[in-house]
């Protein structure tokens, strides 16, 4: 019992140490790769790099808006600068396997006094459901688009309706508990709207790759890029590897090779794409984590109750 109590008391410190260790592993993997070709490509193509970064920012911005939207629907006052910082802390955990990095965001929101941890975890489960639904709608919708645009629309409507019908049950299974949501939470116009915002974020993610390969000699179309970028990302992360490192690159490489993209470009393009959409966000996440910890420490030092890590239950 004493050991369990000590572990509980130092759980956040232990989690931070694990996060740091995983990040160092990722940095080592990044440093061990040959980046001469990538750096040369980035120097020679500053306009392409700038547009890729811009699309990546749009992707993260849309995800942040949908994240805040879900939290606010559960009465968590998250539309603030500190709320945005809490969202960005999750980027520090991009290399954690099995989506564990998502647990950093509700912990940060709770530590900032936005809501009790159990409320934030409930909101995070809903966010994960919306994100999963959005990428499913995109992938299946792209396949349906081959048949008819209305078929793609039907897929989106079906996915949004499934979220509304099964959301309560799915989030309950995710957290292994019975959850209660406000009346009309799922059957609301906001459910398809949030899914749509998340879906647009996935499109922006694919556009970051499209600006890199669109002008290169290959059989790639915008449809191919959106399909392969989202599909390989999901499959790569599903392997459980930290950040999908290795798996995502391999799957994306196979996909691009199928579309006759030259091997001379492929390795450089994939590496540059992963830098823009993965690696540059990890240090940003750590900066947000430091900011949150300092705000929590400053609030604790001044006795500000609005930033207590144990506020009254608002759920």
Q: 119-166, pLDDT tens digit by residue?
A: 999 999 999 999 999 999 999 999 999 999 999 999 999 999 999 999
The mean-pLDDT minimum among 26-35, 99-108, 226-235, 271-280 falls in: 26-35
The mean-pLDDT minimum among 220-234, 239-253, 269-283 falls in: 239-253
Q: Count Cα atoms within 13 angstroms, Cβ side, for 124.
A: 24
Q: What is the pLDDT of residues 165-178, one digit of tens each?
A: 999 999 998 888 88
- pLDDT bin (cut points 50, 70, 90) of residue 180 is confident
pTM of the model: 0.86
Is a pLDDT exceeding 60 seen at residue 4? no
Please give the residue that has the higher pLDDT: either 155 or 308: 155
Is a pLDDT exceeding 90 seen at residue 21? no
What number is the average pLDDT over the span 183-209? 96
Sign of CA dihedral 85, 90, 91, 92: positive
What is the Cα Rg of the chain in Å? 20
- pLDDT bin (cut points 50, 70, 90) of residue 195 is very high
- Burial class (CB within 10 angstroms; exposed 0-12, middle 13-18, buried 19+) of 301: exposed
Share of the chain above pLDDT 70, in %: 82
Is a pLDDT exceeding 50 seen at residue 315? no
Beta-carbon neighbour count of residue 1 at 10 Å?
5
Mean pLDDT of the chain: 85
Please list, residue by residue across 262-287, b when 16 or more beta carbons sit within 10 angstroms of its beta carbon and e when fewer do.
Answer: eeebbbbbbbbbbbbbbbebbeebbe
What number is the average pLDDT over the span 18-36? 65
Query: Can you give the pLDDT at residue 8?
Result: 53
Q: What is the pLDDT of residues 88-110, one digit of tens each?
A: 999 998 888 767 888 999 999 99
Q: Measured between alpha carbons, how far is 212 from 133 in angstroms, rounded to an integer?
A: 27
Query: Can you give the pLDDT at residue 38?
Result: 66
Query: Can you give the pLDDT at residue 40?
Result: 72
What number is the average pLDDT over the span 32-44? 66
Compute CA distances 98 → 13, 117, 150, 159, 234, whole Å: 20, 20, 35, 23, 11
What number is the average pLDDT over the span 227-256? 86
Query: Can you give the pLDDT at residue 160?
Result: 96
Please give the residue that has the higher pLDDT: either 41 or 128: 128
- pLDDT bin (cut points 50, 70, 90) of residue 297 is confident
Q: Measured between alpha carbons, how far is 197 from 43 in angstroms, rounded to an integer?
A: 33
Query: Can you give the pLDDT at residue 267?
Result: 81
Whether 102 and 190 have beta carbons less than 8 Å apart is answered as no
Query: Can you give the pLDDT at residue 223?
Result: 95
- Please report, for the chain, the start and end positions of each structural domain, with discontinuous segments joined by +: 2-28+43-88+99-297
- pLDDT bin (cut points 50, 70, 90) of residue 194 is very high
């Amino acid at each position: 019992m004493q050991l369990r109590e000590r572990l509980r008391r130092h759980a956040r410190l232990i989690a931070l140490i694990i996060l740091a260790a995983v990040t160092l592993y990722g940095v080592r993997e990044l440093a061990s790769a040959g980046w001469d070709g990538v750096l040369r490509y980035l120097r020679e193509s500053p306009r392409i790099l700038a547009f890729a970064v811009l699309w990546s920012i749009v992707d993260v911005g849309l995800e942040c808006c949908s994240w805040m939207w879900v939290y606010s629907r559960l009465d968590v006052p998250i539309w603030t600068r500190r709320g945005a910082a809490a969202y960005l802390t999750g980027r520090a955990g991009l290399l954690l396997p099995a989506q564990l990095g998502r647990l950093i965001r509700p912990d940060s929101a709770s530590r900032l006094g936005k809501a009790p941890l159990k409320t934030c975890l409930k909101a995070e489960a809903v966010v994960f459901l919306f994100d999963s639904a959005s990428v499913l709608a995109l992938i299946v919708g792209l396949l349906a688009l081959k048949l008819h645009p209305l078929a793609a629309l039907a897929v989106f409507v079906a996915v949004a309706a499934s979220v509304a019908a099964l959301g309560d049950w799915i989030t309950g299974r995710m957290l292994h508990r019975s959850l209660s949501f406000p009346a009309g939470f799922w059957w609301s116009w906001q459910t398809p709207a949030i899914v749509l915002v998340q879906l647009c974020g996935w499109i922006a993610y694919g556009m970051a790759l499209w600006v890199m390969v669109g002008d290169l000699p290959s059989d790639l179309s915008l449809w191919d890029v959106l399909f392969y970028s989202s599909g390989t990302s999901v499959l790569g992360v599903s392997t459980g590897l930290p950040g999908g490192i290795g798996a995502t690159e391999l799957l994306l490489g196979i996909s691009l090779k199928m579309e006759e993209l030259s091997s001379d470009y492929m390795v450089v393009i994939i590496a540059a794409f992963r830098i823009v959409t993965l690696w540059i966000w990890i240090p940003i996440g750590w900066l947000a984590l430091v900011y949150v910890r300092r705000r929590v420490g400053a609030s604790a030092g001044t006795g500000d109750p609005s930033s207590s890590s144990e506020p009254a239950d608002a759920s």
